[in-house]
Amino acid sequence: MIETFSEFKELKNIDKSTMISVLEESFRNVIAKMYGTDENISVIVNPDKGDCEIWREREVVADGEVEDPNLQIGLTEARTIDSECEIGEDVTDSIDFRSFGRRAVLTLRQTLSSKILELQKEAIYDKYKDMVGQVVYGEVYQVWKREVLLVDADNNEMLLPKSEQIPSDYYRKGDTVKAVVVQVDNKNNNLKIIVSRTADVFLQRLFELEIPEIQEGIINIKAIARIPGERAKIAVESIDDRIDPVGSCVGVKGSRIHGIVRELKNENIDVINYTSNMSLFITRALSPAKIVSVTLDEARKRAEVCLKPEEVSMAIGKGGMNIRLATKLTGYEIEVFRDIENVQEEDIYLDEFNDEIEQWVIDVFKELGYDTAKAVLAVPREELIKATDLEEETIDHVIEVLRAEFE
């Protein structure tokens, strides 16, 4: 038993005092089934000597008046244990293990196994419940359709559900997987450790592992938005004005962020400067689109964003990805509008006017570098007369034709 106790401490993380309690409880369960009660039983486990004793206390009654042989003992039999005992007193005798019988021994074995397994699960639960949100490493043990079974260095099982996998993830038995613990449950003694690679906190932990300034607390991660395996936006802020948070996270030629991108199966990561100015933050969140104006409704957490028509598709992104990430990052519902009022009219090449202006006149302007209508109209009349050496009537006719096109 002494050797067994040390093995349990080393292999199953169950200490000696806990193991003694389990042994006592297991013996009591078996004894209660054998004798109907364990109230008058004392189980003594001595780890120093490596033995176990079971003592039963019974009331001495007159011969022939024994109603419950587990709680009472006849005077004659009692005096074989204690020759000086009298009726009404208690005598104590030991119960021999050999009297248990095969069935009781099997029950004891099953009870012990069950209790030890329960203790193991509780120990693992206590360990992992404090690790929620932390990165763990696991080896792929089995791949199923809906989840992957991982085992850690201590052979504890973890589950990576399909919903928590990056879409392009592919696993084979023996692969090492990096993930973050998101849920630990031990309901009805059914231990479940759920890990994830799609959670926002996984991206946060990867940045903390890779960027020294984040580890040291100089740079803080303020917000994260992800579409796993596709694209992510992360807002960072520096507490030291001398340190550029975006540059520190990205590194020279992307050296620092490259490892994170590779771990996330080439997920495109936009790192932006955080600001408490919400209009500016929304503008940055919608990058690379260029914003004309932002109107906020703080009460309803809504923002109306005005952009040039050619910038709208960039703000929305492929499949609405960019605007969805910006909405999640800022916490504001963003609506995009085209800025029609400030749209500049398209310019027109001079050759398009050759039905109203003679071609040789157009060629004179083109030789001077004035290829479009707006290029001509931008030059004062006197300068055009001097530069082209054309008659004033010709210049006035050209200006009139060109202006008419934009009126």
Q: Judge if 26 and 75 occupy the same domain.
A: yes
Is the pLDDT at 150 greater than 70? The verdict is yes
Does 343 map to a domain? no
Q: Judge if 206 and 190 occupy the same domain.
A: no
Does 344 map to a domain? no
Is the pLDDT at 194 greater than 90? The verdict is yes
The predicted-structure confidence for 282-306, as pLDDT tens digits, reads as follows: 999 998 888 888 999 989 999 999 9
Does 178 map to a domain? yes
Q: Judge if 273 and 332 occupy the same domain.
A: yes
Question: Token pair of 303, please?
Answer: 């923002």
User: Which domain CATH number covers 289?
Assistant: 3.30.300.20
Is the pLDDT at 4 greater than 90? The verdict is no
Q: Judge if 218 and 275 occupy the same domain.
A: yes
Of 173, 197, 221, the position where a domain reaches its end is 197
pLDDT for the residue numbered 164? 96
pLDDT for the residue numbered 374? 84
Contact 231, 270 (CB under 8 A): yes
Q: Judge if 53 and 180 occupy the same domain.
A: no
- How far is the C-alpha of 159 from the C-alpha of 166, rounded, in Å? 14
**What is each CA distance from 281 to 169, 188, 275, 405, in whole angstroms?**
32, 47, 6, 41
Contact 58, 73 (CB under 8 A): yes
Task: DSSP for 231-296, please give it.
Answer: EEEEEEEESSTTS-HHHHHH-GGGHHHHHHHHHTTS-EEEEEE--S-HHHHHHHHTTTSPEEEEEE
Contact 168, 265 (CB under 8 A): yes
Is the pLDDT at 344 greater than 60? The verdict is no
Q: Judge if 75 and 63 occupy the same domain.
A: yes
Contact 231, 202 (CB under 8 A): no
Instruction: Taking residues 348-354, report their average pLDDT.
Output: 83
- How far is the C-alpha of 113 from the C-alpha of 66, rounded, in Å? 37
Q: Judge if 149 and 120 occupy the same domain.
A: no
Burial class (CB within 10 angstroms; exposed 0-12, middle 13-18, buried 19+) of 19: buried
Is the pLDDT at 140 greater than 90? The verdict is yes
Instruction: Taking residues 387-399, report their average pLDDT.
Output: 89
- Catalogue the E-assigned strands of 152-230: 157-161, 176-187, 190-196, 219-227
Question: Token pair of 208, please?
Answer: 């903390």
Instruction: Taking residues 61-81, report their average pLDDT.
Output: 88
Does 354 map to a domain? yes
Task: Find tokens 């248990």 and name the residue.
Answer: 100
User: Which domain CATH number covers 52?
Assistant: 3.30.1480.10
> b vs e for 266-281, b when ≥16 Cβ sit within 10 Å of the residue's Cβ?
ebebbbbebeeebbeb
Q: Judge if 75 and 7 occupy the same domain.
A: yes
How many domains, in total, are found in the chain? 4
Q: Judge if 9 and 138 occupy the same domain.
A: no
Containing 51, the helix (H) or strand (E) segment is: strand 51-61
> Which of 153-162, 339-348, 377-386 has the largest mean confidence?
153-162
Contact 72, 58 (CB under 8 A): yes
Burial class (CB within 10 angstroms; exposed 0-12, middle 13-18, buried 19+) of 16: middle
pLDDT for the residue numbered 12? 61
Of 103, 126, 149, the position where a domain reaches its end is 126
- How far is the C-alpha of 53 from the C-alpha of 156, rounded, in Å? 35
| Three-state DSSP class for residue 225 | strand
Is the pLDDT at 50 greater than 70? The verdict is no
pLDDT band, very low/low/confident/very high, at 203 (cuts 50, 70, 90): very high
Q: Give the HSE-up count for residue 327: Cα atoms under 13 Å, Cβ half-sphere.
A: 16
Strand ranges across the sheet with 302-307: 291-297, 302-307, 333-338
Q: Judge if 311 and 395 occupy the same domain.
A: no
Task: Find tokens 């994170």 and name the residue.
Answer: 260
Query: In sequence order, what are the beta bridge partners of 295?
Result: 304
- Catalogue the E-assigned strands of 62-98: 72-74, 90-94
Q: Judge if 7 and 110 occupy the same domain.
A: yes
Closest CA to 128 of 185, 209, 176, 178: 185
- Catalogue the E-assigned strands of 86-215: 90-94, 135-143, 147-151, 157-161, 176-187, 190-196
Question: Token pair of 102, please?
Answer: 């095969």
Does 345 map to a domain? no
Write the secondary structure of 294-348 as one string of H (helix), E (strand) and C (coil). EEEECCCCEEEEEECHHHHHHHHCHHHHHHHHHHHHHCCEEEEEECCCCCCCCCC
Is the pLDDT at 340 greater than 70? The verdict is no
Enclosing domain of residue 393:
350-406
Is the pLDDT at 161 greater than 80? The verdict is yes
Does 63 map to a domain? yes
Of 304, 338, 372, the position where a domain reaches its end is 338
CA-CA-CA-CA torsion for 204, 207, 208, 213, nearest 10 degrees?
Answer: -130
User: Which domain CATH number covers 156?
Assistant: 2.40.50.140
pLDDT band, very low/low/confident/very high, at 40 (cuts 50, 70, 90): confident
Q: Judge if 81 and 19 occupy the same domain.
A: yes
